[in-house]
Amino acid sequence: MSTAPAISICIPAYDMGGAGGEYLGYSLERLTRQGFTDFEVVVSDQSDGSGVAETCAAYADRLTIRRVAYTEGKRQASANSNNAMRHANGRILKILFQDDFLCDDSALQQVFDAFQEPGCKWALMGSAVTRDCETLERPMVPRWHDRIRWGFNTISSPSVLALEARHDLWFDENLQWLMDGDMYQSCHQAFGDPVILPDTLVANRIHEGQVSAGVSRKLRRQEVVYTARKGGLTRAKGDLRAFLYQYLKALG
């Protein structure tokens, strides 16, 4: 009988204008350097081309990696991330977008150690941004606050998220721009405050093809209204103000 890995690295992948295989390859290469090795990689692939599949095959002898073709779902990150999580076997789920990477070789060890502590159900990792995969800029220690669902993101991308596998929490597939804040809000409601790993462990790659660069004002308005209808406007300090700010900003 096979033993479930401690951690599943859940990677939603797609063509990314032809660069998907290259970005994924760099991320997988960095995973081979991790000191902690009890993990699997699950790649949910929404590509139309073969780049992602070829990259996964190239690392099959160096990583425990499983590619799952996923062309029937919504072509967006929230649905693709959910599919990766559904196919994961690990006791801890670690989200990692294909153009991001773990920039510290102790990252998975730190994640594993955090979940050994009683009460740890979800954890957030320190991050930075990079343009060249070498220079790390704007280091960021995740900070929770009650306006996170409105897009005031003091946590960073979903690549900093790890959570216990035995849960019923999923990215909302009606969201793209606010998918991360909504997920953080759901985790907080279910589990309470996150464990914060303050070291810079994740590098978020900045490039022209990233999804956030193409978010329209119309989409922002739609998602702000959807978020208000989904969770209501609470009595938390600044909640109404946050909604109005983001909605009016999206009007231009």
CATH of the domain at 75: 3.90.550.10
3-state secondary structure 17-75: HHCHHHHHHHHHHHHCCCCCCCEEEEEEECCCCCHHHHHHHHCCCCCCEEEEECCCCCC
* CA distance to 52, 138, 183, 206, 252, per residue, from 135 (Å): 25, 10, 29, 12, 34
Contact predicate 97/11, CB 8 Å: yes
Judged against a pLDDT cut of 50, whether residue 1 lies above it is answered with no
Q: Which pLDDT belongs to residue 73?
A: 81
Do 11 and 108 lie in one domain? The reply is: yes
Mean pLDDT of 101-122: 97
Residue 234: per-residue pLDDT = 75
pLDDT at 236 over 80: no
Looking at the structure, do residues 99 and 183 belong to the same domain, yes or no?
A: yes
What tens digit of pLDDT does each residue of 10-34 get?
999 999 888 899 999 999 999 999 9
**Quick one: 56 and 164 in the same domain?**
yes
Q: Is 12 part of any domain? A: yes
The residues near 160 (Cβ < 8 Å, ≥ 6 apart) are 124, 125, 126, 127, 142, 201, 202
In this structure, are 222 and 202 located in the same domain?
Answer: no
Stated as kind and residue range, the H or E segment containing 109 is helix 107-114
> Do the domain assignments include residue 60?
yes
What is d(CA 87, CA 70) in angstroms, rounded to the nearest whole number?
Answer: 11
Domain of 184 in residue numbering reads as 7-213
State how far the Cα of 33 lies from the Cα of 151, in Å rounded to an integer. Answer: 33
Same domain, 120 and 232: no
Tell me the C-alpha distance between 41 and 63, whole Å: 7
Whether 134 is in a domain gets the answer yes
Same domain, 247 and 155: no
| pLDDT score for 18 | 86
Same domain, 117 and 187: yes
Chain-centroid distance of CA 103 in Å reads: 15
Q: Are residues 125 and 222 in the same domain?
A: no
Residues 67 and 83 in one domain: yes
Q: In whole angstroms, give the CA distance from residue 193 to residue 227.
A: 21
172 in any annotated domain? yes
Q: How far apart are CA 223 and CA 173, in angstroms?
A: 11
pLDDT at 124 over 70: yes
Give the tens place of pLDDT for each residue, 157-206: 999 999 999 888 999 999 999 999 999 999 999 999 999 999 999 999 99
229 lies in the same domain as 115: no
